[in-house]
Amino acid sequence: MSENAPTREEWHRLYEAAIQVKQLAPWEWMTENETFGVQNPETGALGFISVMGALGEHYAAALYLGGQALYRFWDLENTGPLTEPQQLLEIPQLQASFEDRELLDARDRATIKDLGLRFRGRQSWPQFRSFRPGYFPWYLEAEEARFLAVALEQLCDVAPRFKASPSLFSTPDDEHHFVRVPCPKGEALVWEDKVLHVPFEGRVFLDIPMDMTALNYLKMLLASKRQVEIDFFMLRARIQENRDERPVMPYALLCVDAQSGMVLDVQLLDPRPSLEAMWSMLPVQVVQQLAKLHLRPAAVRVRSELLQQMLTPVSDALGFKLIKRSHLRMLDPAKASLLEYM
């Protein structure tokens, strides 16, 4: 067990808060987009609660960690059916969900048994997980458990008031948010409603390296008529050096021939130390892939906006067409096989 694991008292408070949320069932009148903030009384950091379960399929409450995490979530909501599951895993968040018993693992069941709690029925067993970009969903650390417990308690306060007055979350614009803020009153904390400005940070600027030897080699090649499809995606695999360590989820950079579907190359990328550092390596990885194949393609088809943005300078340098498609006809079967294998 990790030294940062919650104490028995911290687990007890968290489970009690989750039980109250399940009894309240706020998903009966709240949707995922109806979010509000909670300020961490220990650090002052903001988290934003989103309630899931309006469709009756999966009951949960997510606490998105920070304003940028909230804006990222909203972006995915606006994307709609084109959203890929990996994109939600890339948003830092804490989740309390209600699962069937068989979906809990031994550690979850041991904690419940130690607390003397009992649950019955489908979607009745609380489960708590921490999501960090590039990592497998993992068990909560003590500080995470305390913040999630506070957030669930505030959900139980706010949700009935929102039901009675749906205008509760109304703010002057999209960068202002309804937030529950703790205010010290003697030795106690009193929670107050406030509207806070949370600015959107906008674009992230990356320091992008390049293998000039490989790029210049490709420039010397005659442009071929071949087209390739390239995709970049998270693998459902775990890299873990010891069982108490949070596992990493690697990414794959897959390149296939757009006519035959033959896999030309696949590279595994490590999301550490950050997703942004990994993203910055995409152009040089593609250039090295093409140089290894002795291929200067006529066109490259990609699915993601990220890959399109990252490869635009390479496209300009090598003179190939960069085409964005929601469906990659030849690559998708290869991707499905790789995901199934992993």
Residue 206 maps to a domain: no
Mean pLDDT of 167-193: 94
Beta strands in the chain (DSSP E): 36-39, 46-52, 59-65, 93-99, 125-131, 176-185, 188-197, 227-234, 251-257, 263-269, 299-302, 321-324
Let me know whether 223 and 184 are in one domain. no
Let me know whether 50 and 96 are in one domain. yes
Q: Are 64 and 37 in contact (CB under 8 A)?
A: no
| Total-model pTM | 0.90
What does residue 90 show for φ and ψ, rounded to 5 degrees? Answer: -85, 0
Let me know whether 114 and 243 are in one domain. no
Q: Which domain holds residue 262?
A: 212-341
DSSP code at position 204: P
Q: How many domains does the chain have?
A: 2
Residue 103 maps to a domain: yes
Let me know whether 14 and 139 are in one domain. yes
pLDDT band at 1 (very low <50, low <70, confident <90, very high): low
Residue 1 maps to a domain: no
Q: Are 305 and 312 in contact (CB under 8 A)?
A: no
Mean pLDDT of 177-199: 94
Convert the pLDDT of each residue in 96-150 to its tens digit: 999 999 999 999 999 999 999 999 999 999 999 999 999 999 999 999 999 999 9
Let me know whether 182 and 261 are in one domain. no
Let me know whether 186 and 81 are in one domain. yes
**Cis geometry, peptide bond prior to residue 26 (ω within 30 degrees of 0):** no
Residue 2 maps to a domain: no
**Partner residues linked to 176 by β-bridges:** 197
Name the domain boundary from 197, 226, 259.
Answer: 197
Let me know whether 282 and 255 are in one domain. yes
pLDDT of residue 315 exceeding 70, the answer is yes
Let me know whether 57 and 100 are in one domain. yes
pLDDT band at 82 (very low <50, low <70, confident <90, very high): low
pLDDT of residue 56: 83
Q: Are 208 and 283 in contact (CB under 8 A)?
A: yes
Give Cα 64 distance to the centre of its chain. 9
Give the CATH number, domain containing residue 248. 3.30.420
